[in-house]
C-alpha cells in the first residue's frame, strides 16, 4: 500500500472549485490549512490540493465528504444550505452589516448551532472562512437606493434566495450558466450581475461593466469542511492538529481575504469602473423582508430569530 | 506508475480490444479502479448522474434532433438543390456541390455523422451516376461531414466548453474560419479529382433555375441565421438556440414544406435520442473515470511529460497533434476528449496557448478522428450509405484527410485563423 | 432455459417499450421547458426559475434510460478488431463474455445507485424544490435495466440460433 511506503503519513485530499491563484479566497484557505496542519504534526499528515473543480463540483465534493470518498473541501454556503437548510440564514440578503459582524455571529452560538447540525449529516465544519461580500455591477446605472435595481436585468445563480431578492427589489433576475455570462454582458443580453469583488477582478468584468455598487447584499461564507468518516480514521493527535489548524487557517484567511477585498475595490476603480457605496443599507433590508419570512420555515424559526437578534 | 494508473490504462485498452463497447469499458475500468484504491463505489452512481447535469450539454440532443428534423423535413435536399444550381457546371462541380451543401448544412447541424448522412445519402448516388467513382464519392461525403462539427453549432465544441469551462459561444466563433478553409480545400480536391479522371462537366443552370432553387430553399437557407443570429444577437444561449432550431425545423417541416407528418415524429425523436444516448452515456461513464484520473493527479504529470519533449512550443504542439490524431483513429472522440481534458488544459497553460485556440485545435483534431480509419462515426455512415468497405473508401479518403490536417496545422500555428473572428465580437 | 428466456424477454421488451415512451415524453417536456424559458424572458420580461432545473432532471433520465436501452438494441459503439478476426463460434463466445461483463457492470451500477439514493434522501433540489431522490434514483434504475437487458441477451445467446446482430 502506498500509505505504508511513505511511512504512515495520513493523507487528506482537499478539493475546491475555483482556481489556485494567490488571490483566490478558497485557494488561500486550503493552502493555509495545509501549511499549518503539516507544521503542527510534521511527517504525520500530508494534504494534497485539488483546485479547479478537478474532483467534482461543490455538490459532489460535499456529498463525497458524507460518503467518505472525498476528505476535505472549501465549500460555498449556498451549497451547504442544500444539505442542511439552516445555512440558508447566511444567504439572507442584507443580513450582515459588515465583515466584523458576520465573523462575530459565525464564531458565536449561531455558528456553533450550524456546526452541530452539519455534524449530524457526517460533515465537520473546521471554520467559516470568507469569500467576501457580493456586490452588484451593471451597465445601466449605479445602485444607490433600492429603486435603482428596478427594471435592470441581472444574471443570478439558480438559487431561490437570489431570485427572490431581486424580485423583491423589482429587478429582473435571469438565471444563467456561469460560462455564458461574460459574453451575455458584453453583447447586452443582460445588464449586469452580482459577484464578490475578487471574482469581478479575476474574471475581468471591469473590461465590460461600467458601474460597481458596493451593495454588500450577501456575505459569502465559505466553509472549511472535513468528512467525519475521514476524520475518525485519523490518529488522535492528528485529529487535534486538524481542528487547531482549521481554526488558525480560518482566522488568517479572513484577515487576508478582507484586506485583499479592500485593495481590489481600489484597483477596480483604477481600472475604470465607477464604484459607489449604497445610501442606506437598512432601507435595502426593509425592501426584502418578505424573503426572510419565506425562508423562516426551512431555516428554523428559533435559529432565524437568534441570528436576527445577533445582528441588531 | 501507480497500481491505479495501470488498471486504468491497461484495463481500458484491454477491454476495448476485446470489443467491449466504449461506455462499458470506461465503466468497468472505473469500477475496478475504485476497488483497487479502496474507495466506496458510490462514486460510480454519483458521477454518472452529475456527468449529465449540465445545461450546456443539454444542447446536444437538440442539435441532433434539429439536424434530423431538417433532413426528414426536406431542408437538406433543398440545400443540395441550391448548391447544385450554383456550381455544377464547374469542373469537379458535383464534388463541390457535396462540399458546399455540407458546409451549409454544418451551420445547422452539430455533428459529423449527421452531416455525412444528410448530404451523402443524396450526393453519393448522384456523383456515382455522373462519372465519379463510388469510392471517391463516399470518401468526399465522409471528409465533408467533418465540416459539420467545425462550423458552428458543434457538439464537440459544446463538450470541450464544458470540460474546459470556456465560453461555448466563443469556441463556436473560433470554428468558422477553419470550417470554411476545409470547405475550400475539399472543393479544390474535387476539382483535382475531376481533372485527373476527366469527369464530364454538367450543363450550366439558368438564372431562372438558380432563382427557383433559392426561393424553394429559402426556409433552409435562413435556418443558420436563426441559430447563429440568436446566439450572437445576444438573444439565447447555445442550448436555447438548439431548442429554437428544433422548433424551427419542426415548424418548417410540418407547415411550410409539409414533408414531415405528425405520426413520423415519435420515430424521429427516438432516433435522435438514441444518437444522443450513445454520446451522453459515454460522457456519463467517463465522469467516474475522469475523477479517478484527477484523484491520482495524473494530468499534470502526463502534461509535464509531454512538455518535456522539447523547449520549442512548436515541437510540443506537433507531437501533441500527432498523438491526438493517432488516438482519434481508434478512439471515440468524446471519450478521448474527457479522459485527456485535464492533460490538455494543463499542457496549454504550460506552453501559454490561448485557451480558445487550444479548444479549437483539440476539437478539430478529434473531429478529424471521426473520418480516420479504422474507427470513425462519419466513416461508418459513409460506408453504410455507399455499401462499400472501409478499406475501399480509405484509399480515396486519405488524401482528403490530408487536406483537413493542413487546416489543423493552420489552426495550430496561426492564431488568427481561430481568434480573429472571436476578437470581432 | 427456454422458459426463463421467455420470461426475461417479456420483461426486457416491456421495459424497452416503457423506456421509449418515457424518453419521447421527456424530450417533449424538455423542449417545452426551454421554449417557455426563452418566451418568458423576451415576451414577458420575466425569468423562470424552474425551467432549467426541470429540463436537466429530464435530461439525466433520458440519458440513463436510453443508455440502458442501448444494451437491448445493441447500439453502443465498440471496436471490432478482435471480433472481426474470429470465426462465428469464437464471435459467439466473445459476445457472451462481453455480455457477462456488461451485466456485472450493470449490477454494480445498480448497487452503487442504491447507495447513492439511500445516502442522500430527504434533500430538495435548489430551484424547483423537488425531492432529490427523483434525480438520484436514475443510476439505480439504469443499472437494473442494464442487468435485465444484458441477462436477456445472454440467455438468448444460448437458446436462440445465432443471428447476425450488433454487439451490446
Ligand atoms: Na455545425
Ligand atoms: Na478515427
Contact (CB<8Å) A189/B235: yes
pLDDT at residue number A1: 36
Compute the average pLDDT of residues A151-159.
85
B169 lies in the same domain as B291:
yes
pLDDT at residue number A275: 96
Closest-CA distance of chain B to residue C95, Å: 8
B289 to chain C, any CB pair closer than 8 A? The answer is: no
For the residues of chain A, what is the DSSP string, one character each?
-HHHHTTS-EEEEEE-SS---TT-HHHHHHHHHHHHHHHHSTTTEEEEEE-TTTT--HHHHHHHHHHTSS-EEEEEHHHHHHHSGGGHHHHSTT--SSHHHHHHHHHSHHHHHHHHHHHTTTEEEEEEEEEEEEEEEESS---SSGGGGTT-EEEE-S-HHHHHHHHHHT-EEEE--HHHHHHHHHTTSS-EEEEEHHHHHHTTGGGT--EEEEEEEEEEEEEEEEEHHHHHHS-HHHHHHHHHHHHHHHHHHHHHHHHHHHHHHHHHHHTT-EEEE-S-HHHHHHHTHHHHHHHHHHH-HHHHHHHHHHT-
Asked whether the predicted pLDDT for residue C167 surpasses 70, the reply is no
Asked whether the predicted pLDDT for residue B342 surpasses 80, the reply is yes
Tell me which chain B residues have a C-beta less than 8 angstroms from the C-beta of C64: 48-49, 52, 281, 284
Q: Which domain holds residue B275?
A: 40-424
Cell of B306: 509531454
Q: What average pLDDT does the structure give for chain C?
A: 92
Q: Give the count of alpha carbons within 13 A of B124, CB side only.
A: 27
pLDDT at residue number A5: 42
Compute the average pLDDT of residues C86-105.
95
C108 to chain B, any CB pair closer than 8 A? The answer is: yes
Q: What average pLDDT does the structure give for chain A?
A: 92
In a domain, C47, yes or no: yes
Number of domains in chain C: 1
pLDDT at residue number A312: 81
Residue A83 and residue A76: Cα distance in Å, rounded? 12
In a domain, C106, yes or no: yes
pLDDT at residue number A267: 95
In a domain, C77, yes or no: yes
pLDDT at residue number A20: 81
Contact (CB<8Å) C42/B235: yes
Q: Which of C121, C126, C130, C133 is the best substitution to test chain A (most A C-beta atoms within 10 A)? A: C126
pLDDT at residue number C164: 56
| Res. C163 pLDDT band, cuts 50 70 90 | low
Number of domains in chain B: 2
Nearest to B187 by CA among B87, B115, B78, B79: B87
Compute the average pLDDT of residues B170-194.
97
| Strand partners of residue A225 | A73, A125
Q: What 3-state DSSP class applies to B234?
A: coil
pLDDT at residue number C128: 85
Closest-CA distance of chain B to residue A83, Å: 15
Higher pLDDT, C66 or C163: C66
pTM of the model: 0.90
Residue B180 and residue B182: Cα distance in Å, rounded? 5
In a domain, C166, yes or no: no
B93 lies in the same domain as B133:
yes
B263 lies in the same domain as B310:
yes
Among A89-93, B61-65, B237-241, whose mean pLDDT is lowest? B237-241
In a domain, C168, yes or no: no
pLDDT at residue number A7: 57
Compute the average pLDDT of residues C17-46.
92
B220 lies in the same domain as B366:
yes
C119 to chain B, any CB pair closer than 8 A? The answer is: yes
Q: What is the dihedral of CA A204, A208, A213, A216, to 10 degrees?
A: -40
B168 lies in the same domain as B253:
yes
Asked whether the predicted pLDDT for residue B116 surpasses 80, the reply is yes
Closest-CA distance of chain A to residue C79, Å: 29
Q: What average pLDDT does the structure give for chain B?
A: 93
B31 lies in the same domain as B71:
no
Asked whether the predicted pLDDT for residue B176 surpasses 80, the reply is yes
B61 lies in the same domain as B165:
yes
In a domain, C139, yes or no: yes
pLDDT at residue number A188: 83
pLDDT tens profile B122-158: 999 999 999 999 999 999 999 999 999 999 999 999 9
In a domain, C49, yes or no: yes
pLDDT tens profile A243-287: 999 999 999 999 999 999 999 999 999 999 999 999 888 889 889
pLDDT at residue number B297: 84
How far, in Å, from the CA of B214 to the mean position of ligand 1?
Answer: 21
Q: What 3-state DSSP class applies to B34?
A: helix
| Strand partners of residue A130 | A221
B118 lies in the same domain as B191:
yes
Exposure letters B250-273 (e unless 16+ CB within 10 A, then b): bebbbeebeebeeeebbebbbebb
B237 to chain A, any CB pair closer than 8 A? The answer is: yes
Q: Which domain holds residue C140?
A: 2-159
Amino acid at each position: 500500500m502506498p500509505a505504508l511506503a511513505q511511512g504512515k503519513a495520513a493523507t487528506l485530499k482537499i478539493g475546491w472549485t475555483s482556481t489556485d491563484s494567490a488571490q483566490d479566497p478558497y485557494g488561500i484557505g486550503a493552502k493555509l490549512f495545509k501549511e499549518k496542519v503539516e507544521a503542527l504534526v510534521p511527517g504525520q499528515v500530508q494534504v494534497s490540493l485539488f483546485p479547479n473543480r478537478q474532483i467534482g463540483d461543490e455538490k459532489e465534493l460535499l456529498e463525497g465528504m458524507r460518503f467518505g470518498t472525498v476528505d476535505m473541501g472549501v465549500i460555498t454556503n449556498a451549497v451547504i444550505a442544500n444539505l442542511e437548510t439552516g445555512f440558508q440564514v447566511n444567504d439572507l440578503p442584507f443580513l450582515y452589516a459588515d465583515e466584523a459582524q458576520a465573523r462575530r455571529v459565525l464564531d458565536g452560538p449561531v455558528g456553533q448551532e450550524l456546526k452541530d447540525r452539519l455534524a449530524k449529516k457526517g460533515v465537520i465544519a473546521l471554520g467559516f472562512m470568507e469569500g467576501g461580500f457580493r456586490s452588484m455591477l451593471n451597465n445601466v446605472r449605479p445602485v444607490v437606493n433600492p429603486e435603482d435595481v428596478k427594471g435592470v436585468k441581472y444574471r443570478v445563480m439558480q438559487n431561490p434566495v437570489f431570485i427572490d431578492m431581486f424580485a423583491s427589489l423589482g429587478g429582473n433576475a435571469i438565471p444563467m450558466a456561469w460560462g455564458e455570462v461574460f459574453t451575455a454582458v458584453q453583447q447586452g443580453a443582460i445588464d449586469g450581475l452580482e459577484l464578490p469583488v475578487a471574482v469581478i477582478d479575476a474574471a475581468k468584468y471591469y473590461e465590460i461593466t461600467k458601474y460597481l455598487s458596493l451593495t454588500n447584499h450577501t456575505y459569502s461564507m465559505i466553509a472549511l469542511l472535513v468528512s467525519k468518516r475521514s476524520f475518525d480514521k485519523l490518529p488522535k493527535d492528528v485529529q487535534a492538529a486538524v481542528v487547531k489548524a482549521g481554526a488558525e487557517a480560518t482566522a488568517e484567511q479572513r484577515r487576508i481575504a478582507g484586506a485583499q477585498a479592500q485593495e481590489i475595490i481600489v484597483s477596480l476603480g483604477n481600472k475604470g469602473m465607477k464604484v459607489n457605496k449604497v445610501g442606506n443599507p437598512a432601507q435595502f433590508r426593509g425592501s426584502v423582508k418578505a424573503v426572510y419570512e419565506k425562508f423562516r420555515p426551512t431555516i428554523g424559526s428559533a435559529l432565524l430569530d437568534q441570528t436576527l437578534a445577533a445582528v441588531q | 506508475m501507480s497500481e491505479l494508473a495501470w488498471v486504468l490504462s491497461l484495463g481500458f485498452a484491454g477491454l476495448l480490444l476485446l470489443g467491449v463497447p466504449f461506455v462499458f469499458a470506461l465503466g468497468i475500468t472505473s469500477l475496478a479502479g475504485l476497488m483497487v484504491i479502496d474507495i466506496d463505489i458510490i462514486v460510480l452512481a454519483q458521477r454518472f448522474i452529475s456527468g449529465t447535469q449540465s445545461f450546456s450539454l443539454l444542447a446536444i440532443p437538440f442539435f441532433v434532433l434539429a439536424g434530423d428534423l431538417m433532413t426528414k423535413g426536406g431542408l437538406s435536399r433543398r440545400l443540395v438543390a441550391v448548391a447544385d444550381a450554383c456550381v455544377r457546371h464547374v469542373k469537379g462541380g458535383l464534388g463541390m456541390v457535396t462540399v458546399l451543401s455540407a458546409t451549409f448544412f454544418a451551420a445547422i447541424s452539430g455533428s459529423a455523422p449527421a452531416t455525412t448522412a444528410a448530404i451523402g445519402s443524396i450526393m453519393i448516388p448522384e456523383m456515382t451516376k455522373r462519372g465519379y467513382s463510388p469510392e471517391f464519392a463516399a470518401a468526399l461525403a465522409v471528409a465533408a461531414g467533418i465540416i459539420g462539427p467545425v462550423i458552428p453549432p458543434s457538439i464537440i465544441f459544446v463538450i470541450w466548453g464544458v470540460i474546459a469551462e470556456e465560453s461555448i459561444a466563443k469556441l463556436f466563433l473560433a470554428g468558422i474560419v477553419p470550417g470554411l478553409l476545409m470547405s475550400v480545400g475539399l472543393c479544390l480536391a474535387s476539382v483535382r479529382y475531376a481533372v485527373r479522371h476527366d469527369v464530364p462537366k454538367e450543363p450550366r443552370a439558368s438564372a431562372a433555375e438558380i432563382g427557383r432553387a433559392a426561393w424553394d430553399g429559402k426556409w433552409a437557407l435562413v435556418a443558420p441565421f436563426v441559430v447563429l443570429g440568436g446566439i450572437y444577437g445576444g438573444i439565447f444561449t447555445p442550448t436555447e438556440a438548439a431548442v429554437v432550431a428544433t422548433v424551427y425545423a419542426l415548424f418548417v417541416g410540418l407547415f411550410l414544406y409539409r414533408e414531415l407528418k405528425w405520426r413520423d415524429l415519435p420515430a424521429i425523436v427516438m432516433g435522435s435520442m438514441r444518437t444522443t444516448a450513445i454520446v451522453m452515456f459515454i460522457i456519463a461513464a467517463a465522469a467516474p473515470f475522469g475523477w479517478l484520473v484527477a484523484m491520482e493527479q495524473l494530468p499534470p504529470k502526463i502534461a509535464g511529460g509531454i512538455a518535456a519533449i522539447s523547449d520549442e512550443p512548436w515541437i510540443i504542439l506537433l507531437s501533441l497533434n500527432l498523438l491526438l490524431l493517432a488516438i482519434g483513429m481508434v478512439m471515440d472522440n468524446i471519450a478521448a476528449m474527457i479522459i485527456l481534458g485535464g492533460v490538455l488544459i494543463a499542457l496549454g497553460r504550460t506552453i501559454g496557448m490561448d485557451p480558445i485556440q487550444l479548444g479549437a485545435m483539440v476539437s478539430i483534431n478529434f473531429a478529424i478522428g471521426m473520418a480516420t480509419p479504422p474507427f470513425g462515426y462519419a466513416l461508418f455512415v459513409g460506408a453504410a450509405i455507399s455499401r462499400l468497405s472501409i478499406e475501399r473508401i480509405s484509399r480515396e479518403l486519405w488524401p482528403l484527410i490530408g487536406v483537413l490536417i493542413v487546416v489543423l496545422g493552420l489552426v495550430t500555428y496561426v492564431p488568427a485563423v481561430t481568434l480573429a473572428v472571436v476578437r470581432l465580437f | 432455459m427456454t422458459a426463463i428466456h421467455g420470461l426475461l424477454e417479456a420483461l426486457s421488451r416491456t421495459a424497452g417499450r416503457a423506456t421509449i415512451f418515457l424518453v419521447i415524453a421527456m424530450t417533449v417536456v424538455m423542449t417545452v421547458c426551454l421554449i417557455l424559458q426563452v418566451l418568458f424572458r423576451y415576451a414577458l420580461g420575466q425569468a423562470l426559475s424552474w425551467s432549467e432545473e426541470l429540463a436537466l432532471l429530464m435530461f439525466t433520465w433520458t440519458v440513463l434510460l436510453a443508455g440502458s436501452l442501448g444494451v437491448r438494441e445493441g447500439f453502443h459503439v465498440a471496436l471490432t478488431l478482435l471480433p472481426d478476426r474470429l470465426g462465428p463460434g469464437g464471435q459467439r463466445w466473445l459476445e457472451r463474455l462481453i455480455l457477462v461483463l456488461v451485466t456485472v457492470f450493470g449490477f454494480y451500477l445498480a448497487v452503487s445507485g442504491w447507495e447513492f439514493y439511500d445516502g442522500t434522501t430527504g434533500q430538495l433540489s435548489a430551484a424547483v424544490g423537488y425531492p432529490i431522490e427523483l434525480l438520484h434514483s436514475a443510476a439505480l434504475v439504469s443499472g437494473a435495466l442494464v442487468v435485465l437487458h444484458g441477462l436477456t441477451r445472454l440467455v438468448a445467446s444460448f437458446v436462440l440460433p445465432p443471428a447476425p446482430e450488433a454487439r451490446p
